[in-house]
Amino acid sequence: MKKFLLMVALGLGWSVLASAQVSVNEGRFQKGDNPAWSQAAFNDSDWPVLSLEKDWNKQGYKISNGFGWYRIHVVIPSSLKRGSTDKVLLDLGPIDDCDETWFNGTRIGKTGTTPEDPEGYASDWDSPRRYVVEPKLVKWDKENVIAVRVYNGGDPGGFFERPAFITKPSLEDFVSLKLERKDGQYQAVLHSKVPSRGLVKVVTKEVLSDQVVRENQWKTTVSPRTDVAFCVNMQGQQRVEVTFTDDKFGETLAASVAAPYILTPPAPATPRYNGPLVFGVRPGSPVIFRLAFSGEKPMKYAVEGLPKGVTLDPDKGVLSGSVAEKGDYPLVLIARNAKGETRAEFTLKVGDKIALTPPMGWNSWNCWGLSVSQEKVMSSAAALINRGLADYGYSYMNIDDAWEAEERAPDGRIVTNEKFPDIKALGDWLHSNGLKMGIYSSPGDRTCGGYLGTLDHEWQDAETWNEWGVDYLKYDWCGYSRVFNPDRDHSVAAYARPYMKMQQYLRQQPRDIFYSLCQYGMADVWTWGHAVDANSWRTTGDITDTWASLYDIGFKRQVGLHPYAGPGHWNDPDMLVVGKVGWSDNLRDSRLTPDEQYTHISLWSLLAANMLIGCDIAQIDDFTFNLLCNNEVNAVNQDILGHQAHMDLDEDGVQTWSRDLYDGGIAVGIFNLNEATLPVDLAGALAKIGLEDVVKVRDLWRQKDIPMGLYHIAPHGVLYLKVTVK
């Protein structure tokens, strides 16, 4: 205690909070690197004292690509001892960029790697350092020395965010409980770093009523390095809650997951047309169109009324060729299989406008991130066809960032890196199957992922992409922020300039290239995107697979944007986050609950949003297929009026969005943004948004007409309807 008072008197900032943790906000500091500084006995009394809450640059030091050491002195009170384990947890917070840490002279951990490590330098500046300290290293009620060797790459460097904490570890520092999906089944997995024994409880509940359906509990022992796993069963719209209460800690870990329940009825075996009713192509541009019929395969296709220059592959159902004359060409699309024949009316519109309905397809970013490769694109493309997603109109296969080589060819041409050995062959394969190829670049010198951008090569890149057979360009602002100076000129013209320039070159190519602006909604892009002849523009920053992100991007930021969308030009609230995503080689199931995923797809359908699947299609499961391939839900997205939905009501966490459809119907989404189930009197809810004299209500997910009455919407869930009024 005397020491404690002495330290405070010396001004070294540490304190004991409610005896559960010690916090330290200062340490002694030295520039350079010396192994002797790791030792507890080293005399650092002449080292200056630095705050741990500000980086070292802010405190007068600049060390780029070099080392600095902190030595933190702290008394650890025995009140931090915990009955079952005397270990303590050292939580240093984030450190910019890499650290190696010693506790009273013993090395206890390392985060990030330095250039002298065999794997080379890798910054880990933003993850909190949490190191468990063995009891034998701790001097209770005495001074302890924590020595931290920090390597900094780019400025700034060092501790920067908050004090370091020394706490009692809690159960979750030793034991983890996870619910994982394996072969369509959920299993709970307990893993422990120390021998542990405790009570497992498994409760299955109905999502809507919160009623308990089943309850089970038993004692279990978890040995270090041996997982304990057990299956959990759910049916329909149920949720399972698993807890583990450790005997010694007396603490409980909890995990819960909801069943991915399927609403979309299976498609009939007879052919059914699920594609758009129109397709726009410019005179002379290649027609690339795949007839989207579900039903039993094999299927034979025919088309009545084909204009001169266009041919049909009757086995694949792929239209190709080109039409010289502008005009509307009414066609009848026909598919035949062992179960029957179906005919669908359709119009090929040869004119100045493309993208008459929002683009449907896939993009590599939300699944593979920078690890995308030609092989991965091919695998998703093959699955798009084999798993039947192409039968629902998904056709663009868009390669996002990380296809670019490190340098341009000597003549300035952009080239692919080794992950894309033959991009032209990929384009040819896609086209021969009626699919389209998309690519990504930036008007800046670099892309967001740090790859080569297009700056000063606009004409050359447009030509190269045409040669490769590119049908879609996502043009991402990113590196252009280095060229752009908003202080000098932040007019709309300045924001539009790089996009204008590229569009001019794209339009000179002899093929239709969907032009997708990606600049996160700056300068209200929706008000001028059409003026640069863009086909869509991102309205927000990047989406991720959390409710917070979905709420912000899908609901909050779309309010009032409906007047700006229409055939040929769409608001783009970013790509889909259902299925297996991960932005890297490590894919995981979307973290959105099943109800949140229904909400996501319903909302994108209402918003006439780009429907770009963001998961690995090769790994698509039945639930995700049910989300992406509901022909009635997709028909709203592809409706030829192209009216984006508007928010009609926002009351007590309930939002109602609606849009008019070309057949006179009205698509209505009633969204429950609350954490609790919402009872809805259907007639009342529709009357509230002015829909009276209702003659028919169809539940689009279940594809059946429903009567007026009381319905329940799950937390973060939706009732998605098509309403017909007198």
Closest Cα to residue 531, out of 571, 496, 491, 507?
A: 496
Residue type for position 28: R
Our finding on whether 572 is near ligand GLA (CB under 6 A) is: no
Q: Which residues of 422-453 are buried (b: 16+ CB within 10 A; e: fewer)?
A: ebeebbebbbebbbbbbbbbbbbbbbbbebbb
Active-site annotation, residues: 476, 542
Q: Which amino acid is at 181?
A: R
Q: Yes or no: say if 426 and 374 are a contact pair by the CB < 8 Å rule.
A: yes
Interaction residues for ligand GLA, span 193-212 (CB under 6 A) = none
Q: What is the per-residue burial (b if ≥16 Cβ within 10 Å, else e) of 601-615?
A: bbbbbbbbbbbbbbb
The C-alpha atoms of residue 484 and residue 493 are separated, in whole angstroms, by 12
Q: Tell me the DSSP string of 453-498.
A: --TT-HHHHHHHHHHHTEEEEEEE-GGGGGT--TTT--SHHHHHHH
How is residue 31 written in tokens? 């520039």
Binding to ligand GLA by residue 365, rule CB under 6 A? Answer: yes
Q: What one-character-per-residue DSSP string does 291-319 give?
A: --EESSSS-EEEEESPPTTEEEETTTTEE
Question: Residue 551 carries which DSSP code?
Answer: I
Considering beta carbons, is residue 173 or 400 the nearer one to ligand GLA?
400
Tokens 């880990």 sit at which residue?
124
Query: Is the CB of 88 or the CB of 370 nearer to ligand GLA?
Result: 370
d(CA 97, CA 160): 10
In terms of CB distance, is 437 or 448 closer to ligand GLA?
448
The residues near 74 (Cβ < 8 Å, ≥ 6 apart) are 14, 22, 24, 143, 144, 146, 166
32: left (phi over 0), alpha (psi -120 to 50) or beta: left
The smaller minimum CB distance to ligand GLA, of residues 196 and 610, is found at 610
Nearest approach in angstroms of CB 538 to ligand GLA is 7
* 335 vs 611 by CB, closer to ligand GLA: 611
Rule CB under 6 A: say whether 401 interacts with ligand GLA.
yes
Nearer to ligand GLA, 171 or 607 (CB): 607
- How far is Cα 522 from Cα 6, in angstroms, rounded to an integer? 55
The least distance separating ligand GLA from the CB of residue 152, rounded to whole angstroms, comes to 25
Which residues 6+ apart lie within 8 Å of 239 measured at CB?
204, 205, 206, 207, 256, 257, 258, 259
Residue 362 or 365: the one with the smaller Cβ distance to ligand GLA is 365
Report the nearest approach of ligand GLA to the CB of residue 542 (Å): 5
Q: Which residue in 682, 676, 678, 670 sits closest to 706, CA to CA?
A: 682
| Three-state DSSP state, 511 | coil
Q: Which residue, among 351, 308, 309, has the nearest Cα to 326 in the 3D structure? A: 351
Binding flags for ligand GLA, 526-565, as an x/- string (CB under 6 A): ----------------x-----------------------
Residue 99 interacts with ligand GLA (CB under 6 A): yes or no: no
Q: Pick from 44, 476, 589, 595: which binds ligand GLA (CB under 6 A)?
A: 476
Nearer to ligand GLA (CB atom), residue 55 or residue 404? 404
What length does the chain have?
726
- Report which of 523, 539, 433, 427 is spatially closest to residue 484, judged by C-alpha positions: 523
Residue of the chain from 24, 234, 292, 448 that contacts ligand GLA (CB under 6 A):
448
Candidates 207, 518, 577, 578: give the one binding ligand GLA (CB under 6 A): 518
* Residues 405-444: x where in contact with ligand GLA by CB under 6 A, - otherwise, as a string: -----------------------------------x----
Contact segment (CB under 6 A) with ligand GLA among 12-20, 149-157, 211-219, 447-455 equals: 447-455
Residue nearest to ligand GLA (CB): 448
Among 101, 274, 342, 447, binds ligand GLA (CB under 6 A): 447
Contacts (Cβ under 8 Å, ≥6 apart) of 295: 267, 268, 269, 270, 271, 272, 335, 337, 339, 342, 391
Among 307, 449, 566, 653, which residue interacts with ligand GLA (rule: CB under 6 A)?
Answer: 449
Nearest distance, CB of residue 266 and ligand GLA, angstroms: 33
At residue 687, φ and ψ (nearest 5 deg) are -60, -35
Question: Any idea what the Cα angle at residue 308 is, between residues 304 and 309, rounded to 5°?
Answer: 115
Q: How far is the CB of 448 from ligand GLA (least distance, A)?
A: 3
> Smaller CB distance to ligand GLA: residue 209 or 584?
584
Closer Cβ to ligand GLA, 549 or 677, answer by number: 549
Q: Which residue in this structure is represented by tokens 């002449």?
A: 46
Nearer to ligand GLA, 471 or 639 (CB): 471
Regarding 321 and contact with ligand GLA (CB under 6 A), the answer is no
Q: How far is the CB of 271 from ligand GLA (least distance, A)?
A: 36
* DSSP type of residue 608: T
**Closer by beta carbon to ligand GLA, 583 or else 711:** 583
Distance CA(616)–CA(624), nearest Å, equals 11
CB-based contacts of 590: which residues, under 8 Å, 6+ apart? Answer: 545, 577, 578, 579, 580, 581, 597, 615
Task: Map residue 598 onto helix, strand or coil.
Answer: helix
Q: How many residues bind ligand GLA (CB under 6 A)?
A: 10
> Residue 400, interface with ligand GLA (CB under 6 A)?
yes
Q: Which DSSP category does 545 fall into? A: S
Helix (H) or strand (E) holding 7: helix 2-10
Nearer residue to ligand GLA within complex by CB, 176 or 481: 481
**Measured in whole angstroms, how far is the alpha carbon of residue 152 from the centre of its chain?**
30
Binding site for ligand GLA (CB under 6 A): 365, 400-401, 440, 447-449, 476, 518, 542
